[in-house]
């Protein structure tokens, strides 16, 4: 049997987070290997479907804002290196009732971090963005730096940049087992054996079975839809910002037309269908479309036209819907980034930097205490 190939780090899962970690490690001169079970990129996880929203007005928690500021910087750096625009600024609107979660949470982040913003009532919102229909008494927070990141293209550019710095990437290779031996992590795949000082696990929903994470990660089926607008000009990127709306029917997100035909819309926690990474039902049904049309009819009526595309993907949720970025308590040579709960891709450029910090120096200057495993009882 041939000796196992040795690396400073092996990154398990070359999607949004893994490709960024691969790049950040390689550009620091580390000998690094990325292993991906599927293609690079692929449509079986959480990063396909053209684009993902990025927004500074972060209703989930104000602690995310400093990380977002750094994420914007890293996206621009990747654009410069790759020669392709990945971050598109449209502005963002967070919309809902004043006593809800989305509007007041976004306002709190803006006030705590001094973000430029406007608070707009229904008439002002509909005048500025005619594609929207806003119920009386609701409020919208407009933040001019919101927009979207081209998710699949970003993965491609992170991988290309990593390879330029000497990283090795192996796709269509499944890890069968790994063991932290104290001084080294040993991995066996269906194609070979490897050793590394550190294993970085960024395998999305497939991390749910990882020792130390069992019971903390819940994969969930999500569906995105693209619909033909009756008045396409209202849904162009220069006319409509990205929108997060806390509607009576649930919290929805929408994009201007870009990349493929149609206005893109989804509902967070779509039908609340827990699943497994390999058990995701990828067939989109009438009830999936009905969930999306419920919001189109009331809030984006000019986009309530023929269906152009429906695609299923995965959320991987933690109990509090905050991320997990930490070392495994019983495997100190294993660093994990998981549980991004449907709002993680925008952070992948900075998460890659954080993971590289943890691998190379054992700590990071970024504030990530919100993401520690020990916030869950018995996991520290």
pLDDT in tens, 210-231: 988 999 999 999 999 999 999 9
Short-list 308, 309, 303, 255, CA closest to 131: 303
Query: For the segment 95-154, what is each residue's pLDDT rounded down to a tens digit?
Result: 999 999 999 999 999 999 999 999 999 999 999 999 999 999 999 999 999 999 999 999
Model pTM score: 0.97
Query: For the segment 166-201, what is each residue's pLDDT rounded down to a tens digit?
Result: 999 999 999 999 999 999 999 999 999 999 999 999
- CA–CA dist 249, 96 (Å, integer): 11
- CA–CA dist 87, 189 (Å, integer): 35
What number is the average pLDDT over the span 36-52? 97
pLDDT in the model for residue 378: 82
- 143 neighbors 68 (Cβ within 8 angstroms): no
pLDDT in the model for residue 1: 39
pLDDT in the model for residue 380: 67
What residue spans of the chain are helical by DSSP H?
16-27, 64-82, 102-113, 122-128, 151-164, 286-299, 348-360
Q: Where are the beta strands (DSSP E) in the chain?
A: 5-12, 32-35, 51-54, 87-89, 92-96, 118-120, 139-143, 147-150, 168-170, 175-180, 185-189, 193-201, 218-227, 242-247, 250-255, 263-267, 307-317, 324-328, 331-338
Query: For the segment 70-81, what is each residue's pLDDT rounded down to a tens digit?
Result: 999 999 999 999
Question: Between the CA of residue 77 and those of 47, 157, 240, 349, 350, what are the distances in Å?
Answer: 20, 11, 26, 10, 11
% pLDDT > 70, the chain: 99
What number is the average pLDDT over the span 249-266? 98
Query: For the segment 306-344, what is each residue's pLDDT rounded down to a tens digit?
Result: 999 999 999 999 999 999 999 999 999 999 999 999 999
pLDDT in the model for residue 3: 76
- 245 neighbors 366 (Cβ within 8 angstroms): no
- 292 neighbors 225 (Cβ within 8 angstroms): yes
């Amino acid at each position: 049997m041939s000796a196992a190939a040795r690396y400073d780090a092996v990154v398990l899962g070359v999607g949004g987070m893994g490709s960024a970690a691969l790049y950040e490690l390689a550009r620091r001169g580390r000998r690094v290997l990325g292993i991906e079970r599927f293609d690079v990129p692929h449509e079986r996880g959480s990063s396909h479907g053209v684009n993902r929203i990025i927004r500074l007005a972060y209703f989930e928690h104000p602690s995310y804002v400093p990380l977002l500021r750094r994420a914007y910087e890293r996206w621009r750096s990747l654009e410069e290196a790759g020669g392709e625009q990945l971050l598109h600024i449209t502005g963002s609107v967070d919309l809902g009732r004043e006593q809800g979660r989305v509007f007041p949470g976004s306002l709190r982040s803006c006030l705590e971090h001094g973000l430029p913003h406007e608070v707009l009532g229904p008439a002002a919102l509909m005048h500025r963005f005619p594609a929207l229909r806003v119920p009386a008494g609701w409020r919208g927070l407009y933040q001019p730096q919101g927009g979207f990141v081209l998710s699949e293209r970003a993965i491609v550019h992170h991988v290309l940049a990593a390879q330029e710095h000497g990283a090795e990437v192996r796709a269509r290779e499944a890890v069968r087992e790994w063991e932290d031996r104290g001084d080294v992590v040993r991995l066996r795949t269906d194609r070979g054996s490897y050793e590394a000082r550190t294993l970085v696990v960024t395998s999305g929903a497939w991390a749910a079975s990882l020792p130390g994470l069992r019971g903390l990660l819940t994969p969930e089926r999500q569906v995105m839809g693209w619909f033909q607008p009756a008045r396409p000009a209202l849904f162009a990127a220069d006319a409509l910002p990205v929108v997060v709306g806390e509607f009576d029917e649930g919290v929805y997100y929408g994009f201007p037309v870009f990349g493929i035909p149609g206005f893109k819309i989804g509902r967070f926690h779509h039908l609340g269908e827990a699943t497994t990474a390999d058990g995701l039902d990828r067939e989109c049904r009438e009830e999936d479309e009905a969930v999306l049309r419920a919001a189109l009819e009331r809030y984006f009526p000019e986009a309530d036209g023929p269906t152009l595309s429906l695609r299923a993907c995965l959320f991987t949720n933690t109990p509090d819907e905050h991320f997990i970025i930490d070392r495994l308590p019983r495997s100190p040579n294993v660093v994990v980034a998981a549980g991004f709960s449907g709002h993680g891709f925008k952070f992948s450029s900075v998460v890659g930097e954080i993971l590289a910090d943890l691998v190379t120096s054992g700590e990071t200057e970024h504030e990530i205490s919100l993401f520690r495993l020990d916030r869950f009882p018995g996991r520290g």
